[in-house]
Structure 1
Amino acid sequence: MSYSRVALTSGAAELLRRLRDEHGPLMFHQSGGCCDGSAPMCYPAGEFRTGNSDVHLGDLDVDGVAEAIPVWMSAAQFEYWKHTHLTIDVVPGRGSGFSLEAPEGVRFLIRSRLLTNEELTAFGLV
């Protein structure tokens, strides 16, 4: 069985299809900042530079989008969240001006749950 650390709601997937059509390939980065800095930020692929201080959480497959959408998190934040599964959702409201959904009047947010015992084992955390 294959396990993933990240998923999408259907509403987020619908928005990502529209953003992909407008901006091309996409990526997410989840930082450990405060306020809008703690929200998942959606960028054109490659516009946010990742490096050794980031962890690749996984790739989101969205129907109708040719390329998987990588999801990254700062390594420092990952230490706090490594026992959680993250689901990217979208809600009405204004988020950060840097994330691609900002002009749409909606914002991405993270819904989280603790990993199951099976997931913890699969990720080598027990």
Structure 2
Amino acid sequence: MPVITYTMNQTLVLTIDGELNNDMVEEIRPIIDSLIQKHTDVLVDMSSVCFIDSAGIGSLIYLYKQLQSNGRRMRVICKQGQPRDLLSILHIDRTITCYQNVRDFLADVSAEQAAMDTRYSSMAM
């Protein structure tokens, strides 16, 4: 199966390889449902996805809405190409934060953590 899940910096990572089409969505539906049951944010790593169709878009939106309704976040890693272009055309990248690579995601998480640390230390004074 071209799907891997693991945890990185308290975020569940769902790595998808190949095409995110109807067949793949049917295959990973149980994994998506299990991610919704967890209590962490989710990063969908689509850096190896070469094609996404309407079923793939639908599964991303479904996961995003389910996570958001439970106070959690979803972010996406998506390189240039058809998947990124489609996320942009549909303006999904305006709602779901998209990164070029894991390094950009980690830099953003580090910046968020530093900002939170600064806020908490100023409140303690």
* Common topology (TM > 0.5): no
- Bigger fraction of residues in strand: 1
What's the TM-score, normalizing by structure 2? 0.27
- Bigger fraction of residues in helix: 2
What's the TM-score, normalizing by structure 1? 0.27
**Structure of larger gyration radius:** 2
Q: Whose relative contact order is higher, 1 or 2, with alpha carbons under 8 Å and at least 6 apart? A: 1
